[in-house]
């Protein structure tokens, strides 16, 4: 199997243990534990789980709603994955559109699609992005894109957004989707991005594509039921999964970006000299067991 | 269901019938039938088919091999989809790596990764691509990317490439893959791109992800067997599927590009002012029945 393994080995998740420290290697302290109340665990019928890191600092009103919906167990009774469109999104929530929102959930929060001012990106990619003047990273491990004045979270594979109706609707957060194909970046600045799937996206990406318009399932029986959605902080301590993001404001991360922009021999013949942000997503991992 | 349908309706495959002709609407003559010997039909166990348009004019040696492999029914006995890596590729061919190549198949064709000179793109996107100086379209409906001197087929979702070992291997064409996630554009100029899946990619994109390194299945039983791979021109005339690409060298297509670069209200609040080539793939359709 050697040849086939080599054939496309450049995207290996786990390189062989390096003999010497490389400039792009993180220090142990570069891995920062994500707070339990930023980790949302969705369990699907059949037992699979999908874990989302919430962008609490970037879309606080929508994330506040999501936390309240999880606390109220709003998705647990009747929630489902009801739409899967190939090369686009998997979407879940209340397919009936009739379920009342719990106390404290704002039906139509402010449009948290982009922001002005605030912290600058701590690292940037080399080339211009087709959807932005620049693309880069926040200090706390989020991908960013921006214009001269605005900054936003880009719609990369696995990023989670809030489904909404026509403006002025911004979506409550009860219906969410994640990108399961080429990044649908035209949605940037038009929808609230509230998180990123950090584990288990394959539970969604392998689901049968819906055959109705826009990938909606035509029948209720095709949907995948949601068993529960919980913040990790609402789980018993022993059951909480722990994740870490890689800190970006350091020269090791800058070196890592360079490795994404110019892949190396022996496999690569021509390095690209650049990358798009969705092919250079900031690393996240499970916290190692001590 | 109105709200949910509207929620992400901007990527609808089939817009409502227009009341008036729009500048981006194709004329009937803009749809050009793809020759039968450029259409490759792969039937998988379970009955699903995946149809590939071959880039015969862009990677002629590799496509010549693929045609000979199909004529020899090389994939039909023992061929399988043996690797599916989430957000990357589905790969098929001979998992044993032991099957002899048929007479006339060149084990290591020239590296058809890019070309210099030749026809210029007939239409281009507005913004610079992170992986190329420009991105655009051939007259015959292929996406293109290029530097000042070279042109190549970009690794967008659904594009088909030839798996290979380390250079100087270029791959025979017996093992192929297609992108099923965010476009792995770092592979551009490093691999022969030989086609595009034009129907049935969801047969591959929903397959279980392999749990071995790089998404290889750990056991033979996880693979999906290939029943047959045939050129449409080798099928009985009555059984041939027919497809058409949309011609690009006309002002209607230029207007279509603009619609991809700037999505419109009422859903969109902020148009992007640009698009990447993989979010603006040239349209292909089944030939309508007369």
Average pLDDT over residues A61-68: 98
How far is B26 from B29, CA to CA, in rounded Å?
Answer: 8
- In this structure, what token pair is assigned to residue A69? 């919906």
Check if the beta carbon of residue A108 is closer than 8 Å to that of residue A169: yes
User: A185 and B129 in contact by Cβ < 8 A?
Assistant: no
User: B11 and A269 in contact by Cβ < 8 A?
Assistant: no
Average pLDDT over residues B233-243: 97
Tell me what percent of the residues of chain A surpass a pLDDT of 90.
Answer: 90
3-state helix, strand, coil in chain B (%, to 5): 20, 25, 55
Rounded to 5 degrees, what are φ and ψ at B10?
-70, -15
Nearest to B54 by CA among B151, B194, B173: B194
How far is B226 from B91, CA to CA, in rounded Å?
Answer: 12
Check if the beta carbon of residue B34 is closer than 8 Å to that of residue B243: yes
pLDDT tens string A148-194: 899 999 999 999 999 999 999 999 999 999 999 999 999 999 999 99
Lowest-pLDDT range of A120-124, A143-147, B20-24: A120-124
How far is B197 from B236, CA to CA, in rounded Å?
Answer: 22
Whether A16 has a pLDDT exceeding 70, the answer reads no
Q: What is the pLDDT of residue A18?
A: 58
Nearest CA in chain A to B125: A130
Q: What angle do CA A50, A54, A60 make, to 5 degrees?
A: 150
Lowest-pLDDT range of A8-17, B101-110, B241-250: A8-17
Interface test with A, best of B16, B116, B186 (most A CBs within 10 A): B186
| Domains along chain A with CATH numbers | 31-93+106-282 (2.40.100.10)
How far is A276 from A278, CA to CA, in rounded Å?
Answer: 5
Nearest to B129 by CA among B152, B153, B145: B145
Structure confidence at residue A81 as a pLDDT band (50, 70, 90): very high
How far is A37 from A35, CA to CA, in rounded Å?
Answer: 5
B88 touches chain A (CB under 8 A): yes
Q: What is the pLDDT of residue A290?
A: 79
Sole residue written with tokens 């791979």 = B229
Structure confidence at residue A119 as a pLDDT band (50, 70, 90): low
Q: What is the pLDDT of residue B5?
A: 38
Listed by number, the residues of chain A in 222-251 with a beta carbon closer than 8 Å to a beta carbon of chain B are none
Close Cβ partners of B16 (under 8 Å, ≥ 6 residues apart): none
User: B4 and A202 in contact by Cβ < 8 A?
Assistant: no
Listed by number, the residues of chain B in 133-192 with a beta carbon closer than 8 Å to a beta carbon of chain A are 156-158, 163-167, 169, 171, 175, 177, 180-190
Average pLDDT over residues A52-81: 98
How far is A78 from A229, CA to CA, in rounded Å?
Answer: 12
Q: What is the pLDDT of residue A160?
A: 98
Structure confidence at residue A52 as a pLDDT band (50, 70, 90): very high
> Which bin fits B93, alpha (ψ -120 to 50), beta or left (φ > 0)?
left
How far is B196 from A36, CA to CA, in rounded Å?
Answer: 43
Per DSSP, helices labelled H in chain B are 2-7, 60-71, 202-205, 251-261
Q: What is the ipTM of this complex?
A: 0.94
Higher pLDDT, A4 or A166: A166
Mean pLDDT across chain A, nearest whole number? Answer: 93
Whether A76 has a pLDDT exceeding 60, the answer reads yes
Average pLDDT over residues B8-19: 50
User: B266 and A167 in contact by Cβ < 8 A?
Assistant: yes
Burial, A3: exposed, middle or buried (Cβ in 10 Å; 0-12, 13-18, 19+)? middle
A10 touches chain B (CB under 8 A): yes
A113 touches chain B (CB under 8 A): yes
B272 touches chain A (CB under 8 A): yes
- In this structure, what token pair is assigned to residue B100? 């002899």
Tell me what percent of the residues of chain B surpass a pLDDT of 70.
Answer: 93
In A138-290, the DSSP E strands lie at 143-146, 150-152, 159-162, 176-179, 193-199, 224-231, 243-246, 284-286
Q: What is the pLDDT of residue B148?
A: 87
Whether A15 has a pLDDT exceeding 80, the answer reads no
Close Cβ partners of B47 (under 8 Å, ≥ 6 residues apart): none
Whether B119 has a pLDDT exceeding 70, the answer reads no
Structure confidence at residue A117 as a pLDDT band (50, 70, 90): confident
Listed by number, the residues of chain B in 32-61 with a beta carbon closer than 8 Å to a beta carbon of chain A are none
Whether B2 has a pLDDT exceeding 50, the answer reads no
The conformation of residue A216, written as its DSSP 8-state character, comes to B
How far is B158 from B179, CA to CA, in rounded Å?
Answer: 5
Rounded to 5 degrees, what are φ and ψ at B65?
-60, -45
How far is B217 from B229, CA to CA, in rounded Å?
Answer: 21
- In this structure, what token pair is assigned to residue A166? 């026509």
User: B113 and A10 in contact by Cβ < 8 A?
Assistant: no
A209 to chain B nearest CA, in Å? 7
Whether A31 has a pLDDT exceeding 60, the answer reads yes
In chain B, the DSSP E strands lie at 31-33, 39-44, 49-54, 80-84, 89-93, 115-116, 123-124, 134-137, 143-146, 150-152, 159-162, 176-179, 193-199, 224-231, 243-246, 284-286
- In this structure, what token pair is assigned to residue A125? 């990619």
Lowest-pLDDT range of A133-147, B117-131, B156-170: B117-131
The size of chain B, in residues, is 290
Whether B12 has a pLDDT exceeding 80, the answer reads no
User: B182 and A91 in contact by Cβ < 8 A?
Assistant: no
B34 to chain A nearest CA, in Å? 24
Nearest to A263 by CA among B151, B168, B115, B184: B184
Close Cβ partners of A28 (under 8 Å, ≥ 6 residues apart): none
pLDDT tens string A209-266: 999 999 999 999 999 999 999 999 999 999 999 999 999 999 999 999 999 999 999 9
Nearest to A158 by CA among A112, A199, A130, A209: A199
Average pLDDT over residues B159-187: 97
Kindly list the residues from chain B whose CB atom is less than 8 angstroms away from the CB atom of residue A143. Answer: none
B283 touches chain A (CB under 8 A): no
């Amino acid at each position: 199997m050697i040849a086939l393994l080599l054939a496309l080995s450049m995207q290996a998740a786990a390189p062989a243990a390096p003999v010497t420290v490389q400039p792009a290697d993180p220090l142990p302290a570069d891995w920062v534990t994500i707070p339990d109340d930023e980790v949302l665990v969705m369990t699907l019928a059949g037992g699979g789980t999908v874990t989302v890191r919430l962008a609490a600092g970037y879309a606080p009103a929508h994330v506040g709603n999501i936390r309240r919906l999880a606390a109220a167990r709003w998705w647990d009774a009747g929630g489902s994955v009801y739409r899967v469109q190939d090369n686009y999104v998997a979407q879940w929530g209340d397919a009936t559109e009739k379920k009342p929102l719990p106390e404290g959930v704002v039906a139509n929060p402010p449009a948290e699609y982009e922001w002005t001012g605030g912290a600058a990106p701590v690292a940037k990619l080399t080339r211009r992005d087709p959807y932005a003047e620049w693309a880069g990273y926040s200090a706390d491990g989020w991908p960013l894109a921006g214009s001269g004045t605005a900054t936003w979270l880009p719609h990369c594979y696995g990023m989670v957004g809030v489904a909404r109706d026509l403006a002025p609707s911004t979506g409550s957060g009860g219906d969410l989707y994640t990108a399961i194909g080429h990044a649908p970046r035209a949605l940037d600045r038009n929808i609230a991005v509230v998180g990123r799937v950090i584990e288990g996206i394959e539970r969604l990406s392998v689901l049968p594509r819906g055959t109705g318009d826009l990938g909606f399932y035509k029948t209720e029986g095709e949907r995948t039921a949601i068993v529960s959605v919980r913040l990790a902080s609402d789980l018993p301590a022993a059951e909480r999964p722990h994740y870490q993001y890689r800190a970006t404001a350091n020269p090791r991360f800058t070196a890592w970006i360079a490795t994404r922009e110019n892949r190396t021999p022996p496999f690569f013949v021509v390095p690209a000299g650049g990358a798009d942000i969705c092919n250079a997503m900031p690393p996240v991992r499970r916290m190692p067991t001590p």
